[in-house]
Amino acid sequence: MPNSHKTHRADYAVVGSGIAGLRAAIELSAAGSVLVLAKSTLSDSATAWAQGGIAVALSDEDEIGLHEQDTIKAGDGLCRPEAVSLLVEEGPKYITQLIEWGTEFDRAGTKLAFTREAAHSRSRILHAHGDSTGREISRALLARAHSIPHLHLRAHAFTTELIVERERVTGLRFIDEADGTLHELRGGAVLLATGGLGQIYRETTNPEVATGDGIAIAYEAGAVLSDMEFVQFHPTALAIQGAPRFLLSEALRGEGAVLRNIGLERFMKRYNEAQELAPRDVVARAIVSEMQRTQSTHVYLDMTKKSAEFLRKRFPRIYETCLSYGLDLASDLAPVCPAAHYVMGGVRTDLAGRTSLLGLYAAGETAATGVHGANRLASNSLLEGLVFGARAGQAMMKDAPAGKRQPGALPGSPAPMPDNSSSTPKEAMKNSGKPSTECVMRKKIQDVMWREVGIMRSGKELADAIKQLEAMELPKSEKPGRSGHELRNLHTLALVIARAARAREESRGSHYRSDFAYRNDEDFSKHSVVQKGKDVQFEP
């Protein structure tokens, strides 16, 4: 390794500062030194963007068994039952702990307030500040993490690759974006909790940081990925020209919002008896079908039966954001269209976050635990990050004990960078003078994925996508920065998704093939698995 690399050591390395990474880091801090790396600010994660809430069977009218049934039903025959059992059974314990750590969920009087979302048979969604649940959980976890002396948090540290020695992951390399320096971090175990990959699509509700980095570097290191064809498209993202695809939470439909086509006709009854509260994949496909039928670029979400006072209180962030684009949800119809939202697949793990590589763990959206099957049930994602983040931390301590080192400052590690930088990915790209070819190539990948590997797929379109992606020549650089690595990661995963989607010749959950428009349990009641250099396989 060249001397220009600065080397650091920690008992445990965690990549990602969302709910899964922070919960794991807090768990790990009981056993040794922990370094958490975040590629942007510490609070810039999909967790902080999560509006709807967190699902948990804690209300008087609910049962753990019902939450389990709803999750398995939404997963369309592909959930791992043992993973679902763990999620719903351990969820209440970890939610109660979050409350003890200062998370302020909304209440009705002294009792926790629960709401209902699509495909849930009971009101079991906890929310905070109306529609800022993820932000509140993130705040509480960061506050807890900052209070632990030997848990270090480092912002603007972009992880570029894993270090694998004798078939074991022993560390990672990262770029310090503040000065462009290269660093090496050695640790007893590495956890990847970098969130999802929504930026692979032209239309996405995901933050700019969601470029699939953890999944991609695990794949490059030889780890097994699973279920990558299952990408969930949220049905209702704000569709205003020039505005980002801001998510209009499912909870709006849970509170009575209805969908109308451009002729202002309610149309969901034609597609599913549950209408607006049908599972996400059903609603997303119905909207696409309706847009095609009426030759429009959007449909409308109608919340006008609710007062401005109610909306301001229940959905303050959504209401204010829509107002900033000239829309008053109390009196105006909101134009919406589907957008890429969540990947059910990821790095394949066992029930404790272990991947196929020794020393490497994954949790949250980066991992494929099998808990979501072919289609994630609304508001189960934050719960998965919480439960399986804690479980991964426990497994890391068990598998790689920290030894006799005294917890304390990490040898050779600078003080953690403060989380007050205004730097954003766009600014970083601009300031570092990156060639625009990277932006052009990123847009090409996003367009191909949206057109050919989107909500409605076919064998011909998938073959075309693979051909176009394989023909792309990525710009080469001797010393690529963050945007160069992100581009490579997006390209790698675009091909993985397209190949897995072509291999699954059926329609199930979020994966819909117009040329195989039926579920085929005989051949495909299995999980797709893929490893670098190998064809897609299907395993139970």
Known catalytic residues? 280
Q: How far apart are CA 492 and CA 228, in angstroms?
A: 12
Q: What are phi and psi of 490, to 5 degrees?
A: -65, -40
Report the SS3 class of residue 396: helix
DSSP-derived letter for residue 406 is: P
In the chain, the amino acid numbered 232 is Q
What residues have CB less than 8 Å from 63, skipping those under 6 apart? Answer: 57, 122
- The CA distances from residue 111 to 60, 90, 105, in Å, are 10, 21, 10
Quote the tokens at residue 410: 């990490």
For 246-249, the CB contacts below 8 A with 24+ separation are 246/205, 246/318, 246/321, 247/49, 247/51, 247/205, 247/339, 247/341, 248/301, 248/318, 248/322, 248/334, 248/336, 249/51, 249/52, 249/131, 249/315, 249/318
Q: What are phi and psi of 209, to 5 degrees?
A: -75, -10
Q: Are 227 and 528 in contact (CB under 8 A)?
A: yes
- The residues that bridge with 111 in the sheet, in sequence order, are 108
As to burial, measured by CB atoms within 10 angstroms (0-12 exposed, 13-18 middle, 19+ buried), residue 455 is: buried
Quote the tokens at residue 522: 């005989």
Q: What are phi and psi of 469, to 5 degrees?
A: -65, -40
What residues have CB less than 8 Å from 438, skipping those under 6 apart? Answer: 429, 475, 483, 484, 487
Q: Are 353 and 367 in contact (CB under 8 A)?
A: yes
User: CB neighbours (10 Å) of residue 293?
Assistant: 11
What residues have CB less than 8 Å from 92, skipping those under 6 apart? Answer: 56, 57, 58, 64
As to burial, measured by CB atoms within 10 angstroms (0-12 exposed, 13-18 middle, 19+ buried), residue 300 is: buried
User: CB neighbours (10 Å) of residue 307?
Assistant: 10
DSSP-derived letter for residue 6 is: E
